[in-house]
A and B are shown apart, each in its own frame.
Chain A
């Protein structure tokens, strides 16, 4: 018997909803079967906590006296450049932004000690941030300089708006070359010395709803410790990839754009990171509730690590050159065991995303729903599924140079 979101919300209001995490759902379906699980369980909560580079905040600092027009000027937050291409006092700061004087990889591998992600974390933590701005004057906005300390409490709106988060599955990175590589998937030892991955696997939101049947635009979620929403499908959303029999993409596929009030968030779930030799970024905690509307959804939410395969990709050759080669596929069960087998050899694995934090997010969201603090939403519109034909295209601009230079 199918349920509606309204029926489930009514149960949540009455404190009668049965809410379990995606991990707990695996055991329930194993023990009771799909049919019974679909009847008994109303909501499955998911979670993920990892480095999500396409994250950023927009915020409004209020008008100074006399007024200043930051739009068109240059603005720095603790030395990190913010985007000032909006109106007078609206700014955007991306997680990967670096101070102009950061040496980057000039001293390879660079340390990237402080950048956009750290400013965002410091703001969330309530710390004072130094804003310096230089711009041009107009008759209506005469002021040209600003040097001040601000905190998140001084801001009008402060909104986390991440254009691509929560990747549905991802690569496992290895290195065939003779030297150490520093990538966004961490330090890769030469000659397949290690293999790094980054997904919560069986707890990951989009792996529990592989065809986006319940997750859509407007879905209310756990975001950085507060309540957020899915704004759109994320950039590089790519539903049309090879999938396993149970519909799980065999590599990076769907993505989400998410939005939420930064003022509700906490530094426990929003953290600046420094990835050696690569850059700065932001680690974000996201949890998405999945209403168990019918048996099909109960089935999808029962997915376990051994049923999710990730492609092993060589970050010495295939990845930088955008070649499609996949060395092999391994399951998250193998990855989480601490080693995988490659070419008959044991290779140690390292996760970049935190499974304990993903688990905690799923539990917090479960508790919010159980306590009636968090109601489910029906999406306003779906995100593009397989039938949409949407594909992630490679760069197709007309380059002016005849050849592409490699590093």
Chain B
């Protein structure tokens, strides 16, 4: 949730390179104002950056039940993914429960996060008004907003979060031995005395094993998409978010598509059976992990993807 500053820095670099830096000439291209605008989505605590729009708790319940409840639970109580509600007032107690309701200091951050990142398997699929509505609903699940509340770009920054004054910088984040992370004064010149040693607490290759190529997880950001040839089934699987959990040959959160092909090779009505399963979601066939209902992929695309999967999910 702290990416706004990084993004701002990125924009600054782009702007600098666009103005006059001959050494960089071969790199990139000057960005048009609308291209910059499509990246410049950060919303600040005081609401600067919020697009105009509105949504009610009532509308938010519909958005939530359709796009969020399968992972976060009907009341935001899920422990499988992340609880979104509860724990308000528990942070200082022996059993703190950290949710967006109990921990956030600004409601605008909740809007920004949902707008960027949720639903997990289809980020950026919601309209601006839907993000306002579902933000209102999540705040209502936390008893921060009443059931008849409506949010827009003016009222959202006025919402007072329970943990508004609870943030401190005096302690370390996560398990950084209690040391604060950022206590240095900025060095702007000849700063590296010794080369930095970057390391991770995770075993080597962990992220790659779990997710495979990271590229397909991030949608291509395109302002004006060139007229393209009809997408391949593999591309449809990527654009419909299937590759967030599946890969052709490796088991990830969900089974490898090649394994699915092997399992259903002799099943006559496999396409129909799998179409229903993917639409409805579920678990238990391959393990305990849950596939959320895939409601947004079109029938035509799903049929193409399933045909490709059942044929062994060969690379295009």
Q: Do A and B come from one complex?
A: no
Binding site for B on A (CB under 8 A): none
Identify the B interface with A (CB < 8 A).
none
